[in-house]
A and B are shown apart, each in its own frame.
Chain A
Amino acid sequence: MSPAGHVTRTEAPLIHIADVHKSFGKVEVLKGVSLDVAKGEVICVIGPSGSGKSTLLRCINALVPIDRGSIVVDGQEVNDPRLDKLQLRRKVGMVFQQYNLFPHRTAIENVMMAPIHVLKQDRREVESRARRLIAKVRLEGKEDAYPGELSGGQQQRVAIARSLAMNPEIMLFDEVTAALDPETVKEVLVTIRELAEEGMTCAIVTHEMGFAREVADHVYFTDRGVIVEHGPPREFFAQAKDPRTRQFLSQIL
């Protein structure tokens, strides 16, 4: 079962998002989104295409600047011109739909690069950690393979290991299984579930409803830039109240 029971909601949330607005040109993509994620909590964000899910995740690690509102990550205000972005991003790992591994580096080098060059950690230490992480995502023996020699699912697991190598406090997953063959989806989901069970704080955008139901402490449904409805997965999936949520769920389930 999910670690929901261990989450004490009285602590200050690790991620606090309040009334966030974001426009690209004339298109308002986020229209006042608010949500909190407690330490160790796993949230899943679901919703139709174009509803602003990816944008929301990218705002959390300042890949996308917000227009209005507030995002506080571990006490740090993200919407602050003096924000140390690099400092923030060390705490927040992110995995993308398209893996985005560095194709000119082997799997283990992909994992090792950031700790060595960003965190300036000792190479040997990083290497042994990288080997452990690669084993953790079940890719022993693939250390020296180039991304082009790995399957999509394997690449995505290297990408997860690469993010974990920074020892982040939060992991963001943006539809990380959407580009994968159905057979390899599972291996990636298993990896994420293990992380969640170990207590990693996760924000997951996904279309895998079964996975969301199983892994999430809280599910959010977004549509056209607003959070329409949210709740613990059991309630959310069994008794959604809003007609838009119901319609979306009936289409996808």
Chain B
Amino acid sequence: MRAGPYGTTDLPVLLPFRPGARGAAEPAPGLGAAWGVALALVFALSAGIAEAQSDAGRPSTVATILKWTPLLAQGFALNILISFLAMAIGTAAGTVLGLCQISLLPPVRTGSWFMTQFFRNSPWLVLLFYCMLLLPFEVNVGGHIVPLPDWFKATVGLALPVMANVSELVRGAIRSIPFGQWEAADALAFSRRQILWMIILPQCVKRMTPPWMNLYAILTVATPLCSIVGVNEAMTLTGDALAAEARNELLVPMYAYLLLWFFLYCYPISRATVALEKRFAVK
């Protein structure tokens, strides 16, 4: 627990407001770049070693990897789609849940608090399994049978922890707004709903954006979990490609290649997060 200008919080995602204090999941900018370079080196080196180990006459490592790249890209696109959808669903549901956490009705407050804590402290993989098992493979929407593909069920599974984290983010941000804002708005005869939507939440958006982006990056790197429940995303397809090639020396370069993809996607987001934090900190 740390007390800061925004009050005491146990929320790692809220900490990045203070320059110098960052969530553990997010590397410092310099470190991040170093990690990227290291990754590229591992990839190049392992590709080289694989090349040396390959039997003569087989296609080169680089050529093999390039051959599988379109398939990998297809899988990666699914990772991104899952991350977008899970983030959208999680943010919408989490905002509602976060608002419920500050409800004036004690049962609503307690219920939403419990739900938030439950999903925030459950392993993502377990939630993923539960969604795969508990959601039906099709739903009846007003007479129409809509199939629920596996990847969508997995998306819902990932949206749950996102929802819980956003809920905490919303609650923490609302609580960090000085009480005087409520009091002044009360004195001007605004209703509670108006105060929330016109005065409190707009101020929260700015405070929430960097940790929200941080959460998105964490979600994105968690999407390969879906491969465990059989979704054909990049991780699964990499495994398939390796199985098809049946060449052990390809293991390390192929997975390093996949890591590189995720890194290239997530690193700019984390840099943007840091830049935003800095900009907001100045003001």
* Chain A interfacial positions (CB closer than 8 Å to B): 61, 63, 85-87, 89-90, 92-94, 96, 98, 100-104, 113-114, 117-118, 148, 159, 162-163, 166
Q: Which of B8-36 contact A (CB under 8 A)?
A: none
Q: A89-B189, A100-B183 are in contact. List 8 more A-B contacts (CB 8 A).
A: A63-B187, A85-B189, A94-B184, A94-B187, A101-B184, A102-B181, A102-B203, A118-B189
Residues of B within 8 A of A (CB): 178, 180-181, 183-191, 194, 198-199, 202-203, 206, 283
Contact of B191 among A86, A100, A101, A162 (CB under 8 A): A86
Q: List 24 A-B contacts (CB under 8 A).
A: A63-B186, A87-B189, A89-B187, A89-B189, A90-B189, A94-B184, A96-B180, A96-B187, A98-B178, A98-B180, A100-B178, A100-B180, A100-B181, A100-B184, A102-B181, A103-B203, A114-B188, A114-B189, A117-B190, A117-B198, A118-B190, A162-B188, A163-B188, A166-B188
State in angstroms the CA–CA spacing of A120 and B159 once bound together.
39
Which residues on A sit within 8 Å (CB–CB) of B185? Answer: 102
Q: Which residues of B contact A114 (CB under 8 A)?
A: 188-190
Residue in B185, B189, B190 with the greatest tally of chain A CB atoms within 10 Å:
B189
Give complex CA distance A61, B189 in Å. Answer: 10
For A148, list chain B residues within 8 Å (CB): 283
Nearest opposing residue in chain B for A115, CB measure = B188
Docked-complex contact B194 and A117, CB < 8 angstroms: yes
Whether the pair A86, B202 counts as a contact (CB closer than 8 A) is no
- When the two chains form their complex, are residues B188 and A96 in contact, meaning their CB atoms are under 8 A apart? no
Q: Smallest CB-CB separation from B194: which chain A residue?
A: A117
Q: Which residues of B contact A159 (CB under 8 A)?
A: 184
B180 touches A89 (CB 8 A): no
Distance (Å) between the CB of A95 and the closest chain B CB? 9
Structural contact, A104 and B203, CB atoms closer than 8 A: yes
Output the nearest chain A residue to B191 by Cβ-Cβ distance.
A86
Nearest CB on A from B267, distance (A): 31
In the complex formed, the residue of A with least CB distance to B199 is A102
Contact between B183 and A63, CB atoms less than 8 A apart: yes
CA distance A148 to B282 in the complex (A): 12
B283 CB contacts on chain A under 8 angstroms: 148
- The smallest C-beta distance from A194 to any residue of chain B, in angstroms, reads 21
Q: How far is the CA of A98 from the CA of B179 in the complex (A)?
A: 11
When distances are taken between beta carbons in the complex, the residues of chain A under 8 Å from B187 are: 61, 63, 89, 92-94, 96, 163
CA distance A61 to B185 in the complex (A): 12
Whether A113 contacts B198 by the Cβ 8 Å rule is yes
